[in-house]
Each structure stands twice: as C-alpha cells, then as structure tokens.
Structure 1
Amino acid sequence: MDAFDWHRFLLDDKPLSFLIEVSLRVLIAYVVVFVFLKVSGRRGIKQLSLFELVVILTLGSAAGDVTFYDDVPVLPVLVVFLVLLLLYRLTTWGIAHSEKLSKLIEGEVITLIVNGLYELKSLDGLNISEDEFFMELRQSGVEHLGQVRLALIELDGQLSLYYFDDRDVRPGLSVLPPEHRPAFTRVPNTGLYACTRCGQTLQITGGESPPCPRCKNALWSAALATRRAQ
C-alpha cells in the first residue's frame, strides 16, 4: 500500500463514476424522506413528537446506508419507507381512537404552575432541570412565578404560559440566575420570601429558618413583585 495514494484516500477501490451513483442514491434518499413527511401529513418539522422522531431517525438511517454503501440496494429502502408509513398511519389512527394509546405514545399535557405556584405532583416526574426551565421562563419575559397564572408543558415539550393582568400580579419566586437570586436557609432580614422548591411565599423574620408550610423545603429566596415588561 502506497502512502499518500490519493485515489485510495478519496475513493478507496471505487471508480470515479461511482460518484454519479452516489448522487443518484442521495436523490432517491432525499425524495423518500421528503415524500414520507408529505404523505404523513406534517406541515413542518419544528417540533416532532417522540414517535415521529423515532420514525424519522429510522428512515434516515436506512436512507443514509443506501447513500454511502454500494453494497446496499435501493429497493429495501423503499420497503422500509412503505412499512414505516403503514406503521405511522396505523399508530396515528390508534392514537385518534384510543385515549390510553394516545397517553402511552404521546404523553399528557403537564400542568406545572398554577397561580404563581409550582404543582408539587408535577415536579418530581419532570426530566428538566430547574436552570433550563427558568431559562425558558426568562426568554418568555417572566421575572418571577407570581407573574404566571398558568404554565403548561405541551406534548412536544414546549412551554405554554398564561399571565396575570398587571393588577393581579402577586409576589413570587424569582427565576433569575443564582447570582441574582441568593437563597438562604436562615434569612438575613425580615421580609417576604419564596420557597425555592414550590414558590410558596411567606413573611419571615430575620434570623429565622422555618420550613415551607406547603412542601417542607427549608431554602428561601427573596420574593419579587415586579410586573411584566410590556
């Protein structure tokens, strides 16, 4: 084997004409994936459900193999496409006709915040860090939980927020980064504080360290009462 054999480096043992075949394979794979998305009825792919993501990854893997490997024939990829499309149609039909199957495959909308407080039963089952969740709130213009009347995590993982009117905003837990939201087990000054776990507010005398009456957490942060910037 010669060092710096550029033909081996670029094409291995394939002839230059194989690039034309690769171009045709890429075109076929592109058309297959595009047609699948069109036939499946999706108008866009900004947010995919878990099931749809599995389908796309499976199809993409098959399309990728036929694109790069000359020993992978095209016809089996078309069969993969047809079988996946059939499974997709059957599953979406089942989801539309069975609430249990819909919950199993797509999950449920999760109620995370009600009237400025976390829903305790929803907290433990979430696969999302507090920092990530707070970041999403900040990007939506939220400074503290007291500005939020209702927060829902949709089936696609997106956050839907419904706000209090300015006159109804209440004190709440700050969603600012830790350097702007110090937390205390023993509060330094008398004032209104918010539980860092559930958002419950409580008037606390300086030097005290009471547990949260709602969730028994013992970490507090100064509550904010600012209105949302319009």
Structure 2
Amino acid sequence: MNKWLAIDWQAIFIPSMPVLELVVRGSLVYLALFSVLRFLPSRQLGTLGIADLLVVVLFAEAAQNAMASTYTSITEGAILVGTVIFWSYFLNWLGYKIPKFQRFLNPPPLLLVKNGQLINRHLQRELITEEELMSQFRQQGVEYLADVKKAYMEADGSISVITNNSIQPSK
C-alpha cells in the first residue's frame, strides 16, 4: 500500500537529460515540421495557419509525453513546451520585423481565377479540382464562373472571391 502513495518528487521535477539537449531537440523538431508544412498545399491545412497547427500538435505531444511519464520529469515537458512557444513567437516576431521573411511564413494569396478564366496550373499546384472550387463559390453566393472577376487562395487555405458586380468604392 505504501508504494501506491509514495511519490518520488525528484523524478517528477529533475530532468533526466541535459536541458540544452531538450531545447535543441524541440528546436529541430519545430523547425523541421514548420519547413515541411510550409510547402504542403494550403488546402490540406483548412483554416488553421501553419504556425497555429504546428504549435497545437507539438504542445499536445510534449505535454502528453510529460504527463504519461515518457520523460522522467514534468520539467522536461515544460522545457519542450517553452521551446515550442519560443520558436512560434520568434518566427512571428521575425516576420513582423522583416517583411520578406513574412512571405516565407505566410505565402501571398494565389490567384486561381481571373476574369472568369481558371488558372489551371495554380489549381493543380494546390490540388484543387474545378468542382471543389465551384463548391466554394456557391458557398459564397456565386453561381457561375463567368461572374468571378478574381478568386484567390489565401494563406490559410480559404478562398476569397471578387465578383464582377462587386460594389466599387466611391472616388
């Protein structure tokens, strides 16, 4: 019965591996996954941004390992979570300070339709069929392709549509 109630406080809070190794491991995983996800087609990500998706996945993994005692201490899980937070913040800060880097973090909108004409090479690059695109248009109240002046795939995977009869700003 005593074994059930005994707590090894040192094993809970003292890391079993060097802190720097945890930081390096967390950094390498974050940067590798970020790079891979950045170049996947946007439609695969839905409405979550790349950094948001990555942070959620890595938080879950780091926290799960700490709670399930895959690591030998909670401190190791906290260090990994802190490393993920650091890289997420740092990359966003870098994108804010350096506009060219922002284009790497969040790709510019991709033109899919211009003046009612599909740009097939862009659709192919993002793995979007004409039927899927038309479904998106219908959801936004656009029935015919000819009514679309421009349609863009945004960085978050959503489709924005400008129709021919859009209200023009007054001059």
2:113 is paired with a residue whose SS is strand
Task: Please state if 1:115 is matched with 2:109.
Answer: no
Quick check: 1:112–1:153 contact (8 Å CA) kept in 2?
Answer: yes
Q: Which residue of 2 aligns with 1:61?
A: 61
Q: Which residue of 2 aligns with 1:151?
A: 151
Q: Which residue of 2 aligns with 1:140?
A: 140
Q: Which has the larger radius of gyration?
A: 1
Q: Which residue of 2 aligns with 1:83?
A: 83
The runs of 5 or more residues in structure 2 that have no matched partner are 6-45, 167-171
Deviation at 1:61, TM superposition (A): 0.7
Deviation at 1:92, TM superposition (A): 0.7
Code of the residue aligned with 2:84 in structure 1: it is L
CA distance in 1, matches of 2:160, 2:72: 45
Quick check: 1:65–1:72 contact (8 Å CA) kept in 2?
Answer: no
Please give the per-residue CA displacement for 1:108-151, whole angstroms capped at 9, x wherever unaligned: 21111122112355334223233322221222222211111221
Specify whether residues 100 and 124 from structure 1 end up closer, same or farther in structure 2 by C-alpha distance, changes over 3 A only: farther
Q: Within 5 Å, which residues of 2 pair with 1:1-230?
A: 47-69=47-69, 72-120=72-120, 122-165=122-165
1:111 is paired with a residue whose SS is strand
- Which structure carries more relative contact order (alpha carbon 8 Å, separation 6+)? 2
Cα-Cα RMSD: 2.8
Deviation at 1:78, TM superposition (A): 1.2
The runs of 5 or more residues in structure 1 that have no matched partner are 1-13, 18-45, 167-230
1:162 is paired with a residue whose SS is strand
Code of the residue aligned with 1:130 in structure 2: it is E
CA distance in 2, matches of 1:68, 1:138: 46
2:142 is paired with a residue whose SS is coil
Deviation at 1:60, TM superposition (A): 0.9
Quick check: 1:148–1:161 contact (8 Å CA) kept in 2?
Answer: yes
Code of the residue aligned with 1:62 in structure 2: it is A
Specify whether residues 67 and 114 from structure 1 end up closer, same or farther in structure 2 by C-alpha distance, changes over 3 A only: same
Quick check: 1:51–1:106 contact (8 Å CA) kept in 2?
Answer: no
Length, aligned pairs only: 125
Quick check: 2:63–2:78 contact (8 Å CA) kept in 1?
Answer: no
CA distance in 2, matches of 1:91, 1:154: 20
CA distance in 1, matches of 2:133, 2:64: 35
TM-score (norm 2): 0.61
Deviation at 1:98, TM superposition (A): 2.6
Identity of aligned residues (%): 22
2:125 is paired with a residue whose SS is coil
CA distance in 2, matches of 1:148, 1:65: 49
